[in-house]
Amino acid sequence: MPGNRTQRPRTRPKDTGPPSTGTDEKATLRGFLDYLRSAVADKAAGVPEPQVRTGGVPSGTSLLGLLKHLTFVERFYFLGEEIGHWRATMRPSAEDTIDGVLADYREAVERANQVIDACPDLALPAPRPPRRGPAPSMRWVLVHMIEETARHAGHADILREQIDGSTGR
């Protein structure tokens, strides 16, 4: 009908394609992981209160909760830190802010990248919390973290679109 326009979603200015990583296996895996890490952080950055912590789906998942969870996942798999209650990692506290959780995430990613960079052979075991059994290889952890981060990047895409209509990376 004339005059009845459908509102088009906003596209984020940083909408980029996959990274160019060359042929080195470690560089390729880390390049895709960093690409996904940036996508998640960018989706949460700048979202105001209370929208950043408001659940957008029946489970209560929020952008702030996803970012907090991924911070714990990075620390567990790359730094060998024990996580007491995985469910709690998805629930931001009243004191958590987007700036604070984003800084924690970026710090965990930086430390994780140091561990990845220091690993001379992806077949070697990744750090593991005590009493957890044999550690998986660094290769397995990198592939798993790509899967984990990509899955949550998709969740973040949907949550951000619900908040303000923005789409893209």
pTM for the complete prediction?
A: 0.88
Task: Give Cα separations from 123 to 5, 7, 76, 96, 133 (angstroms).
Answer: 55, 50, 18, 37, 17
Angle in degrees, CA 60, 35, 19, rounded to 5: 150
How far lies 132's CA from each of 35, 37, 124, in Å? 29, 26, 17
Residues 14-29 pLDDT 10s: 567 777 877 899 999 9
* Separation between Cα atoms, residue 68 and residue 64, nearest integer Å: 6
Number of other CB atoms surrounding residue 14 within 10 Å: 10
Considering the chain, what percentage of its residues have pLDDT values greater than 70? 91
> Element (H or E) spanning 167, and its range?
strand 166-167
d(CA 139, CA 155): 25
For 69-109, what is each residue's pLDDT tens digit? 999 999 999 999 999 999 999 999 999 999 999 999 999 99
Tracing tokens 């394609």 back to the chain, one arrives at: 17
pLDDT of residue 15: 63
ω into 130 cis (within 30 of 0): no
